[in-house]
Structure 1
Amino acid sequence: MSVKVNPLLPTPLAPDPGPEIAQLAQRQRRANGPLMRIITKFGGTIEEQMAHLPKGVRDQIERVTGNALRRAVDVAGHGRAVPDFGPRAAPAFAAFTGAIGGAGGIATSLAELPVTVTVILHAILRAAEAEGFDTTLPEVRAEALRVLTSGGPLAEDDGINTSFLGARMTLTGPALHALLARVVPGFAAVLTQKLAAQTVPILGAVTGAALNAAFLTHYRELAHIRFGLLRLTALHGAAPVRARFEAALKDLARIKA
């Protein structure tokens, strides 16, 4: 009989999760920074630029993304302390690699893509660790991969996967292949948009460096929100945490209106 492993590291039990849930709701409202909003605003133009990318390039982006995620997950499995660039240095490093990639167009962008993918996933893992999760456990690393598919913790096609909190799983061979088959197409499509956005004339001042930093910060915020809610769910139950998070988001929407 297998023994279930709690993916949470020892953490004190907060008497009332309300204040922390309110903080997570605030982070959710801020998750899409100014640069991400600009990219969204000019989505139609970006779609046109994507159409000009050869199909072979789009296929290559998906292939490179899958290979990079597979290697990054494997590296994370060798120890709890995944690379830690720090809250400020991580976006700076992502910006540096983005600048190198953007310097030579599509060719150098594709060559730089594995580094960008690895840095983003490791930032997600560091966020999970900061929220009290043991990133050496495969179920936690699997959940980190799922962050890449989420537009937010309450997205209709995603939601918070609480089942992994009481599960024991492996993340090698067929299991990893099946998970990547679900994660990679969507994340590769996002990265394709990033590459296309770098060629939009109206975004000419937005370099590959700025885009990389914005994407890393965006996914790291999503990870903090997702794993923060999962931690509170493990401590206080899924239904009350979700209900209070939804209520906090509605309150913020009313205040903004």
Structure 2
Amino acid sequence: MTEITPVVPVDAQLRALADRYTSASSVGMQLLNIVGGQAENLLEKLPDSVKDRLEFVAERALSSALMAANKSRGVVPDQKGWFSTALTTAMGAAGGVGGLPSALAEMPVTVTVLMRAMLAIAKEHGFDPDDPDVMKECLMVFATSGPLSEDDGADLGFLAARVSITGASVNALIARVAPRVATVLGQKLATQTVPVLGAAAGAAVNYAYTSYYQDMAHVHFGLLRLAEDSNTPREELLEGLREALARSKVTRL
């Protein structure tokens, strides 16, 4: 006898995605409790020479990560989410030991590991990691503001964005995403260079960012899967996600 898989109502799936979104966003507060300070002040801790280069560094990191992560799939099999978290946490500790120079050197590697983890999550939700459109969706996950941001509206806007990634348009997309990523990476660098904490701060910040972006990737590709399975426009589901988040906030209050 064939076992029938029960169909989960769309509203219930949206509530589950909202819960995951909320859980991902709460990581930032945990991070701030570890390192101290306020998110808006973190960037001011960086030298002006570094702040001026952040957007360029972000573009380079995203470009190299996109190519390296996809190519590595033919050599190294996909790993579980906990492995990516453990790996980036260890790299963050190493990057934090030497202050800003070692943190800058570690950053592109961490972005590549995150990109690779996102591709694995896309596959988990039934999408082809080799599809250029799926790679574009991974870039859009990077466009979320990061765990230190409270700009939920902008994050959800990026979740709904649809941009062609064929040909040269990938560079245009990276350029569009880079300012967001530059802010996130700047916060990450500043946190890793917190005096005294060193390696501990580096490990903490990478743990937080890896957990955040993997959760956001699950929300992103979960929303895409729900759109396809329910034949519902993504914009309509996005509004449902906003409403579920609003109800969740009221319940917590």
Deviation string for 1:202-251 (max 9, x for gaps)? 97795201111110110111111011111111222125533432332233
Distance (Å, rounded) in 1 between the aligned partners of 2:174 and 2:118: 16
Equivalent residue for 2:58? 65
- Which structure: greater helix fraction? 2
Contact 2:89 2:207 in 1 (8 A): yes
Are residues 248 and 203 of structure 1, via their aligned partners in 2, closer, same or farther at CA, if it must alter by over 3 Å?
farther
Please give the secondary structure, in 1, of the residue aligned with 2:25: coil
Contact 1:198 1:208 in 2 (8 A): yes
Please give the secondary structure, in 2, of the residue aligned with 1:88: helix
Equivalent residue for 1:117? 111
Equivalent residue for 2:92? 98
Please give the secondary structure, in 2, of the residue aligned with 1:216: helix
Contact 2:96 2:102 in 1 (8 A): yes
Contact 2:93 2:201 in 1 (8 A): yes
Equivalent residue for 2:210? 216
Are residues 249 and 145 of structure 1, via their aligned partners in 2, closer, same or farther at CA, if it must alter by over 3 Å?
same
Deviation at 1:61, TM superposition (A): 4.0
Q: Structure 2 unaligned runs (5+)?
A: none
Equivalent residue for 2:160? 161
Q: Which moved more, 1:13-22 or 1:91-100?
A: 13-22
Distance (Å, rounded) in 2 between the aligned partners of 1:106 and 1:210: 16
Equivalent residue for 2:187? 193
Distance (Å, rounded) in 1 between the aligned partners of 2:141 and 2:73: 19
Contact 2:95 2:192 in 1 (8 A): no
How many pairs are equivalent? 240
Deviation at 1:17, TM superposition (A): 2.2
Given the two structures, how large is their TM-score scaled by the length of structure 2?
0.80
Are residues 65 and 129 of structure 1, via their aligned partners in 2, closer, same or farther at CA, if it must alter by over 3 Å?
same
The amino acid that maps onto 2:25 is: N
Distance (Å, rounded) in 2 between the aligned partners of 1:38 and 1:202: 19
Distance (Å, rounded) in 2 between the aligned partners of 1:130 and 1:209: 27
Equivalent residue for 2:23? 30
Are residues 123 and 93 of structure 1, via their aligned partners in 2, closer, same or farther at CA, if it must alter by over 3 Å?
same
Contact 2:59 2:178 in 1 (8 A): yes
Equivalent residue for 1:4? none
Q: Which moved more, 1:135-144 or 1:119-128?
A: 119-128
Match of 2:82 among 69, 78, 88: 88
The amino acid that maps onto 1:184 is: A
Deviation at 1:161, TM superposition (A): 2.9
The percentage of aligned residue pairs carrying the same residue is 36
Match of 1:253 among 242, 249, 252: 249
